[in-house]
A and B are shown apart, each in its own frame.
Chain A
Amino acid sequence: MSNIDKATVAKIARLARIKIEDEKLEPLAGELNNILGWVEQLDEVNTDNIEPMSSVVDAKLRWRADEVTDGDKQQSVLKNAPRGEYGFFAVPKVIE
């Protein structure tokens, strides 16, 4: 099933927003194929009519009143930002 080539690694890296140098794509393809080849043993397991398990906690999510309990923390929120300007997070220019 899994046959990840260089182009696929480049695509995954793009989706994951991680810059991968060209010369690293090939070795990474090998590593990912190894791991995926190993996890594919799950194909042996019959999972017909089995509900996927997304949480070990059976309980339904709790409800709460829709009210403001926190906020007014602009200083705190921006405290760790690499760049903050005029009370905003600042990033490189997006629109020319």
Chain B
Amino acid sequence: MKKVLCLLLALSMVLALVACGNDNKQNDYTKQPDNSQQTPGDTQQPDNNKPAELITVGVINNDPNESGYRTANDAAMRAMFTEENGYKATFYNNNDAAQQIAEAQQMVQNEVDFLLLSPASTTGWDTVLKDAQAAGTQVILFDRMLEADESMYVAAVVSDMPAEGKTAVDWLAAQGLSEYNIIHIQGHMGSDAQLGRTGALDEKVAAEASWNYVTQQTADWDEATARTIVQSVIDSGKPFNVIYAENNGMARGAVAALDAAGITHGKDGDVIVMGFDSDKWAFEAVLEGSWNYMGLCNPLQAETVDQIIKDLVAGNAPAQKIIYTPEQGFDCNTLTQADVDTYGT
């Protein structure tokens, strides 16, 4: 009797798991901002007897759960590449470059017209890119760059990470503090975003005598780790007046540690708090003066990519190969509700 019960229990759990898996694909993006109530549905294989005008695209992206930025990025891609917009799309999400490459290989074999790629790592893509070229699949990079000759892809719509870092550091320099004692919380080491955002700050700290690192640690984009790092600096009693966190989640963790120790931050506070990305709640934190600065990293490349594809199909090559998404920094003194509504995701 017990055995039967247990078997049933286990079976129902397995079924629940399977159900979850399916629902995941179908439902995830129904809550997205716009028209695409019709989710990409059964996108696994391009249909053979599809209407001729549908453009087949394979989209390879990172894991949407990675961060709020990625969630917005992935959702925008899925909302854009739908049948209503003239696409037959296949989506694949993974943070592991090896898996991404295997899936890309498969998509090239299925002879998609366009391969849209946000590579998890910058290297290892040579074979796929060559195969794609041989098969007549055009590759468009979005969001992240990879290391390959420019001739291997038709366009790249990416964030200019070094520029993001530079904008932020210039803003910080403009605050005119007599001394900069910085807690630098880095993202996942070696990622495009971390390298760009760290690079600008490293350069400035090396150049200026009054700029110092109190600590420079990676929290791997994790809020809890960032909180621990700041907590340990507070416990050690070293003075600091700037927190430069390379994404919003980590800035949030840092602020939690400040709050717990009763250290004021933000507008008129003792500590300047800086974050990056595009989360709406972070914009709101800047708006209410709890943070000082947020560097926008625009996750919405889908429209630009769509335009490039339409142009290419019409026979027009894009004017420039690498297109940087428009980005800027927001300051707590100048940010408006309108900005929050426009750029917040």
Q: Do A and B come from one complex?
A: no
